[in-house]
Structure 1
């Protein structure tokens, strides 16, 4: 039996506040009577009742959604707790009042009426308090289920985005391979070997929602090797990954779409090609990823004129928002003839898997 002591302490303080509230109401309606006895009786009965019900419920098999005993055990526990709490609390409060002389100055009372009122107050307060804690436990369970469902929905959405990215990359690579077969079959064969290794790593890594940053850079190295076979000296590349960041988890295929866009829409249209740099660096407690190219650039405010020219950027933004619950950020800086720089700001902690 595992009991959350912090939660029980919170319950204890709530019960004490509730008992003092009940005692205050009694004093308000009967101002001619001393205030000490109602406080003593209310606290003693309330705390005994709470201890029997809230601690005793852990001795029974409980429903997962409420943490309370299932079936008739729950109502029986509440009824027994109220009855025993009333008897023990009455005895203790009476002993305290007699010991410390708190009955002094109290006017005569009708014992039958006093007994009826005290039982009625105890039953009502016990039922209300038990229902409050029962409802609070059920609400906490539902909140946990909502958080879990939201996380599962985010993971499903992330996998959907990955399934959209992988065919997009594959089609572009196959188109490059087809073009190369006609003009340079030996290089096409080397490119096919690179693609086999790249796809094998991609398919095995796509089963996870996150992988080390070193694996992401390894895929980029394979992809750039594929592109270098086609573009030759027109493509230059630099990958910068500090050793301290190699094990930082990131969503798979996070950078590859940006590198693909940089080559296809930034470097390839230029006669001389260009250079692409991918770097990672710490940014406070978080992570900064940057993809920069010396390509043609474009006006970010202008509408896209090519169907897939901004597919990768849009998908990366959506994946960052999904994986990091809206706490990540993707910035774009570009201008015609001046290249493009895309920065991904990832918070800490990194995404849970």
Structure 2
């Protein structure tokens, strides 16, 4: 199996670190009066690089190709074996470079060379081991943060869906007593909406924008049964934006808020317009919900039976997914009513 580019980059980086470490040892030996710089460098590189390669190959073999280091006696034995093999191979190569013909076991420098090799191999192995542990801990911390964010998103969404359902059931209860045929039609729409929404929306925190608009069309059709001609709406989704990923159920709470606090207080009802467009040359997505209703200034204050729960949930989900880059803003509409604007980056969180 060919080596992956990431593995090759890893080996190249660690090889350069090992070579730099060998250069430092050669410089120290030269300054200590043990011979010429080029000879010490030849011995140091010839011993250090094979030792590192043997230890690295053994580490990958013992860990099954992962970045973990073997624990206990296996790690110690691997360092000793790599150092011994590197010492033999490196001494032969260094002797060939320097012209030294004396056998290794008769060399007066053997004890000091052996000690230096073992200490250097242990030091650089400890460095690589500590770095691998730090990387593993960082990966575990990042995974824990992702898991916590996923759990929080699931909790927020689980809170949001019953909120919408309870509001709809309360409206359905009123219709049952006053208009049974419309109540039946509303119940049919509710069943279709729940069948299409609940399972799909829990599958992932993000889904294509076209699915968000499709669920929104189902919801507005459901509410139109109750409000009749008092509710008018339009959905504007340009085709190129349809596959863009957005949080599930990010628009429905805004539309619900627009109807409940904007249109329902008005006898004549009004219009809800939902639009999607790109900002900053395509770097950010903007979703707007504009109603022609009562407006922010004349909207009733939230009470126990009618809070702005959905808005707070949308804000929390945007903050969890995108941090400060995901925002929800409410402002008076240019021609009356209220404008809710969601802005979020296009990259996957």
Q: TM-score, normalised by structure 1?
A: 0.87
**1:107 aligned residue:** none
* Pair 1:63–1:138, CA change in 2 (3 A): farther
Tell me by how many angstroms 1:199 deviates.
1.3
Match 1:151 to one of 128, 143, 146: 146
Deviation by residue 1:120-172 (Cα, 9 ceiling, x = unmatched): 11111100111111222222222212212211111111010001101110111
Of residues 288, 292, 297, the one that matches 1:290 is 288
- Find the aligned partners of 1:194 and 1:278 in 2 and give their Cα distance: 20
CA RMSD between the two structures: 2.6
1:115 to 107, 110, 114: 110
* Aligned residues of 2:289 and 2:340 also touching (Cα < 8 A): yes
Q: Quote the offset at 1:265 in angstroms.
A: 0.7
Aligned match of 1:263 in 259, 262, 274?
A: 259
Work out which of the residue numbers 30, 55, 58 in structure 1 matches 2:57.
55
Please, which runs of 5 or more residues in structure 2 have no aligned partner?
101-105
Taking the aligned partners of 2:136 and 2:184, their CA distance within structure 1 comes to 58
Question: For residues 26-65 of structure 1, what are the structure 2 equivalents within 5 Å?
Answer: 26-30=29-33, 33-62=35-64
Q: Which residue of 1 aligns with 2:20?
A: 17
How far the C-alpha of 1:216 sits from its partner, in A, is 1.2
Cα distance in 2 for residues equivalent to 1:12 and 1:299: 68
Q: 1:247 aligns with which of 243, 247, 251?
A: 243
Counterpart in the other structure of 2:303: 306
Task: Report the equivalent of 1:338.
Answer: 336
**1:1-353 mapped onto 2 (5 Å cutoff):** 4-30=7-33, 33-62=35-64, 66-69=67-70, 72-98=73-99, 112=108, 114-209=109-204, 210-283=206-279, 284-298=282-296, 305-307=302-304, 308-334=306-332, 338-351=336-349
Instruction: Identify unmatched segments of 5+ residues in structure 1.
Output: 100-109
Separation of aligned partners in 1, 2:47 and 2:297: 74
8 A Cα contact 1:298 1:337, kept in partner: no
Q: What is the alpha-carbon distance in structure 1 between the residues aligned to residue 245 and residue 255 of structure 2?
A: 19
Counterparts of 2:300 and 2:94 in 1: how far apart (Å)?
Answer: 79
Which residue matches 2:103?
none
User: Aligned in 2, Cα 1:303/1:10: closer, same or farther, shift over 3 Å?
Assistant: farther
Q: Note the C-alpha offset of 1:70.
A: 5.1
Shift of 1:117: 2.2
Note the alpha carbon deviations across 1:7-40, whole angstroms, 9 max, x for none: 000001111111112222223333x842222222
Deviations 1:281-316 (A, max 9, x none): 23313322111111222259x995434442211111
Please give the alpha-carbon distance, in whole angstroms, between the structure 2 residues aligned to 1:345 and 1:96: 67
SS of 1:324 mapped into structure 2: helix
Conserved in 2, the CA contact under 8 Å of 1:16 and 1:47? Answer: yes
SS in 2 for 1:50: helix
Given that 1:296 and 1:337 are in contact with CA atoms closer than 8 Å, whether structure 2 keeps it comes out as no
Deviation (angstroms), 1:239? 0.4
CA distance in 1 between counterparts of 2:209 and 2:271 reads: 22
Residues of 2 paired with 1:134 and 1:77: CA distance? 13
Q: Deviation at 1:69?
A: 3.6
Deviation string 1:260-281 (CA, Å, 9 cap, x unpaired) is: 0010011111222221111112
- Secondary structure of the corresponding residue to residue 330 of structure 1: strand
Report the count of equivalent residues.
337
